[in-house]
Chain A
Amino acid sequence: MEEGYPQDDPQGPGSEALKVAPPEVLDVVYRKLREGTYKHFVD
């Protein structure tokens, strides 16, 4: 699960949590990969 940070606190690789991914977003991510609905598959 992605955890949020205070907006003035540090973040990942050279970046800040402009938008961390909450669980509901990750749910969509997993579903789009599983169901093949992500629009940028190369096959």
Chain B
Amino acid sequence: MAKLDYVFMVLKEHPYGREMLRQLLAARHEPKAIIEEDSPVADEEREKFLVRISGFPVASTFTEQLRERNITRYEVSHHNKAECRELLRGLKPTLGVLGGTRIIKPSILEIPRDGMLNSHPGLLPEVRGSASVAWSIYYDIPIGCTCHFIDSRIDAGPIVGRRLIPVRRGDTYEKLCWETISLAGVLMTEAVDAWRKGTLRMTPKDLGQRL
């Protein structure tokens, strides 16, 4: 499997990123490297997501997924610190793919020539920020996911994909959170596939105000 010139950035063993990487690898979109952040925030985010999708399957760990694959796995203490910046400058990726990270600062996101893609578990511009499924239900907004390039704003930047999740009576909060994780991986895999083929289409727009 040929590696693509992108770097996958993720909080350590984050279930969101585990599902996304599973789908990317299944589609033969192998990154040149993975940069994991091992920090108290990574631990907290991982546990938070595991609670949200409790009772539903979680993709294999990165350790398991990368077994027998020749993908370099780096570990940093903070994605926005100099250590990560220098690492990225050395790797010179054309694209960055975020599989669940902290807010990435401009000094990092400007390094990949083609930018960085994020897949947000909510419809943008309607639902920005954390706990998107909960806020969508609370405000009676459709549930879905949005894949977009990131910029210095939060959950903003040109959109490359957006899709709804059908909600049926009897669905639980945990099931819907799990479905957004899965759909986020689908949209990211489609985006990377289009990027690879040179057919990625963006929708530049100001993504509006937070709720």
Contacts and interface: CB of A to CB of B under 8 A. Distances in A.
A12 B134 contact: no
B121 interface: yes
Interface stretch (B40-48, B53-61, B69-77, B194-202): B40-48
Contacts of B203: none
Interface string B110-136: 000000001111000000111101110
Interface residues of A, number: 30
B90 interface: no
Given A14-B118, A16-B130, A40-B140, A3 B48 contact: yes
Contacts of B102: 9-11, 16
Contact of B129 (A19, A29, A41): A19
Contacts of A2: 48, 130-131, 134
A20 B118 contact: no
Contacts, number: 121
25 contacts: A2-B48, A2-B130, A2-B131, A5-B130, A10-B103, A12-B49, A12-B130, A13-B118, A14-B118, A15-B130, A17-B130, A18-B130, A18-B155, A19-B130, A19-B131, A19-B211, A20-B130, A21-B130, A21-B134, A30-B173, A32-B137, A36-B169, A38-B137, A39-B140, A40-B141
Interface of A: 2-3, 5, 9-21, 25-26, 28-30, 32-33, 36, 38-43
